[in-house]
Amino acid sequence: MPLDAKTSFLIILAMALTTFATRVIPFLLFPKGKEVPKTVQYLGTVLTPAVIGMLVVYCLKSTEVISYPYGIPELIAVTAVVVLHVWKRNNLLSIGCGTILYMIIIQAVF
């Protein structure tokens, strides 16, 4: 270990508290028993699909598009997941096959 146990633990604790803080903020702003404004209710509804769209991009953010391999492994694997999922609607199958395909592509082909 590069650091002693106490420092290591304190780092973990700092990460834990910071992470929890980001998650608890809306619940502190709109606590139990206080009515949630209509605007915030609307936001809560439409935010989920928008966030999922963002998370797809977030997962692919480090893809090399301009230089080799030009995002081809990601493109192939994501396409495979989409096609497989529209076809079979089986989460495990889509995710499992897509991941294995991606690993094979980047380890053996590119």
Partner 1 sequence: MSGYKQAFKKAFPYTIPVLTGYLFIGIAFGVMYAEKGYSFLWAILMSLLVYAGSGQYLGVNFFVPGVSFLQVIFLTLMVNVRHIFYGISLLEKFNNMDKKRWYMIFGLTDETYSLLCTTNVPKDVDEEKFLFAISLMNQCYWVIGSALGGIAGNFLPFNSEGIEFAMTALFVVIFVEQWMSKENRIPELIGVVAALICLQIFGAGQFVLPTMLVIIAVLFIGRKRISREVDNPCH
How far apart (Å, rounded) are the C-alpha atoms in residues 46 and 40?
A: 10
Q: Quote the tokens at residue 8.
A: 């290591």
Min separation Cβ 72 and partner 1, Å: 14
Site track for partner 1 across 11-50, x = CB under 8 A: xxxxxx-xxxxxxxxxx--xxxx--x--xxxxxxxxxxxx
How far apart (Å, rounded) are the C-alpha atoms in residues 37 and 29?
A: 11
Q: Reduced to 3 states, what is the DSSP secondary structure of residue 74?
A: helix
Binding residues vs partner 1 (CB under 8 A) = 1-3, 8-16, 18-27, 30-33, 36, 39-62, 74, 77-78, 81-82, 85-86, 91-92, 94-96, 98-99, 102-103, 105-107
